[in-house]
Amino acid sequence: MNILEMTKISEEFGGLRAVDNVSLSVLPREILGIIGPNGAGKTTLFNIITGIYVPTEGQLLFKERRIDGLAPHDIARLGIARTFQNIRLFGKLSVLDNVRVGRYGVTRSGFWSGLLRLPGGRREEKETELRAIELLELVGLADKRHEYAQYLAYGEQRRLEIVRALALDPSLLLLDEPGAGMNAGEKEELMAFVRSIRDQLELTIILVEHDMNLVMNICERIAVLNYGRKIAEGTPAQVKNDEQVIQSYLGAGV
Amino acid sequence: MFWEQLLNGLTLGSSYALIALGYTMVYGIIQLINFAHGEVYMFGAFVGLFLVTAGANIFVALLGAMAFCMLLGMLIERVAYRPLRGKSTRLSALISAIGVSIFLSTLMVLYRGPNTTRYPAVLGDSTFQLGSLQVSTLQIIILVIAALLMVVLELAIKKTRVGKAMRACSQDLEASKLMGVNVNRIISLTFATGSALAAAGGVMVGIYYNAVWPYMGTMAGLKAFAAAVLGGIGSVPGAMIGGLSLGVLEIMGIAYLSSSYKDAIAFAILILVLIIRPQGLLGQKLSKKV
């Protein structure tokens, strides 16, 4: 069973087809890379999967359930979490509160139970906090949990964003250029980290990335987009040797 | 003399602060100046009056007015703002807000007539000496209730799950959605919270000044808006500080300058703030999102 099944998805913005007839299946617990030149439609695809955009055509199944047309918060609650190309943390919330908000979709306590400090709500708050600290320990940020997110170093912010996404207990994690702005050493660490959370948390991961080295190293399968179309799909080796991919994207010398 | 005026100023200012909180919270989350907010405050005052006249205890009246205005605030958001959200410009929502404001005050005129109604004396006001200071029990009650409400609000925003989601939404609405936050619900609850605080302000002002009228929300709303801008629109502590400062400045102006400048003071401050420090006392400098 595929965890995510995209069938003939298209997205049109005023006559421009940002995503054009893309079909793609994602297997449970795989790391799938999506590559392509700027404007190829990679982030648009993420926005479709998370419900920010409703596809103009096509259908989208998550765990055999139709999700195109659902509200973003409902899709998130089904277990799809993401990070952003340009980090979008809640800068004026503490590190811990960022992760707590990340858990919003899997917690329940309402307005009144929070306001009146009802026991159920308080227990949930406590559990949320423990889980958040546990996740922060995973990336070595537990000690900084009371700092404002905006004062973290760049690499720490990247890690916090992943942890905030993990707080939703997702089964599918979308990483939008997780390695952007990192040096080679940091990218090594990132790859190890992505693999380890996939194994520990039994995640399926789709990542959009520009760094070919990173993608080829970490992904088990790669899909290549160009002008909104999928032009190739396969293992890193297959994609690397694909004529069309070399011509339109990789160019000579890769 | 000075200390008594200061106390008067804080009493007035606490009502501005309660109203200003609604402006600032709503602005923080959807960047809308909810110009119908003053009318919610007016409705709060009238619902309080109605309940008190019907024989309710003052605290019951206060809670009743708050509950009523919570629903009113949510209704306004649902009917007048949500249909426009994401589909039209911020200007349309602003015009819609002005429309709701006129509609609500006119509705009250239809129902009650345009004249001032006196509040029944529910709290026998007495004064006592505190050193050389002449203090009214009513003032103390108002200040205590206002302070209590603000503490509860601060705790709710900082500590509860929904409060944290409110703060997250005010920073990044779209990212919040992807955390599973039902943004429409959070916006609705923000209107409810702000409206309840305004209603409390309305009831207390009604009792304190012993008068309510359908257009009372216009001037109070504008001044509370000025207070929110003074404190830094979008900032919750800013609204509290802005409200209190504005009340004190206004009363001091009346005491030491002339009472004819009463209303001019708030707006002179508004203009000065906009010129000298547009982001307000506690506001952040505006930077465009890319």
> Residue B172: exposed, middle, or buried by beta-carbon count in 10 A (0-12, 13-18, 19+)?
middle
Round to whole Å and give the CA distance between A67 and A70.
Answer: 5
Asked if the C-beta of B178 comes within 8 angstroms of chain A's C-beta atoms, the answer is: yes
* Closest-CA residue of chain B to A170: B179
Give bridge partners of residue A57 from the DSSP assignment: A10
pLDDT digits (tens, 9 = 90+) for A151-201: 999 989 999 999 999 999 999 999 999 998 888 888 998 999 999 999 999
pLDDT value for B71: 98
* Closest-CA residue of chain B to A52: B174
Residue B259 has pLDDT above 90, yes or no: no
Task: Identify which of A72, A115, A125 has the shortest CB distance to residue B178.
Answer: A72
Chain A: residues touching B (Cβ < 8 Å): 50-52, 71-73, 76-77, 81-82, 84, 86, 88, 90-93, 97, 100-107, 109-111, 114-115, 121, 124-125, 128, 164, 167-168
pLDDT value for B183: 95
Domain B2-276 fold: ABC transporter involved in vitamin B12 uptake, BtuC (1.10.3470)
Flag if A114 and B161 touch (Cβ within 8 Å).
Answer: yes
Interchain CB contacts (distance < 8 Å): A and B? 93
pLDDT value for A65: 94
One-letter amino acid of B30: I
pLDDT value for B129: 79
Question: What would the mean pLDDT of B198-217 be, rounded to a whole number?
Answer: 94
Residues in A touching B172 (Cβ below 8 Å): 88, 90
pLDDT value for B167: 95
- Contact A118/A138 with Cβ under 8 angstroms? no
* Closest-CA residue of chain A to B163: A111
* Closest-CA residue of chain B to A109: B161
**What's the mean pLDDT when you consider all of chain B?**
91
* Closest-CA residue of chain A to B193: A111
- Can you give the residue ranges of every domain in chain B? 2-276
Chain position carrying tokens 């982030």: A43
Flag if A105 and B181 touch (Cβ within 8 Å).
Answer: yes
Task: Identify which of A82, A88, A104 has the shortest CB distance to residue B181.
Answer: A104
Phi, psi of A22 (to 5 degrees): -95, 125
DSSP A94-161: BHHHHHHHHTGGG----HHHHHTT-HHHHHHHHHHHHHHHHHHHHTT-GGGTTSBGGGS-HHHHHHHH
Specify the higher pLDDT residue, A62 or A244.
A62
Task: Identify which of B162, B168, B180 has the shortest CB distance to residue A168.
Answer: B180
Nearest to B207 by CA among B134, B266, B137: B137
- Tell me the nearest-neighbour CA distance from A87 into chain B, angstroms: 10
Round to whole Å and give the CA distance between B32 and B73.
Answer: 14
pLDDT value for B249: 93
Q: Which band of pLDDT confidence, cut at 50, 70 and 90, is reported for residue A251?
A: low
pLDDT digits (tens, 9 = 90+) for B183-207: 999 999 999 999 999 999 999 999 8
Tally of CB atoms within 10 A around A183: 9
Specify the higher pLDDT residue, B1 or A72.
A72
pLDDT digits (tens, 9 = 90+) for A216-227: 999 999 999 998
Report the percent of chain B where pLDDT is more than 90.
Answer: 73
Residue B290 has pLDDT above 50, yes or no: no
Least confident of A100-114, B78-92, B143-157, B275-289: B275-289
- Contact B96/B82 with Cβ under 8 angstroms? no
Question: What would the mean pLDDT of B21-43 be, rounded to a whole number?
Answer: 95
3-state helix, strand, coil split of chain A in percent (to 5) is 45, 25, 35
ipTM value for the complex: 0.89
Residues B286/B287/B289/B290 CA torsion (nearest 10 deg)? 160
pLDDT digits (tens, 9 = 90+) for B267-279: 998 899 889 998 8
Asked if the C-beta of B161 comes within 8 angstroms of chain A's C-beta atoms, the answer is: yes
Flag if A125 and B161 touch (Cβ within 8 Å).
Answer: yes
Least confident of A153-162, A241-250, B43-52: A241-250
Round to whole Å and give the CA distance between A38 and A26.
Answer: 23
SS3 for A147-160 is CEHHHCCHHHHHHH
Report the percent of chain B where pLDDT is more than 70.
Answer: 97
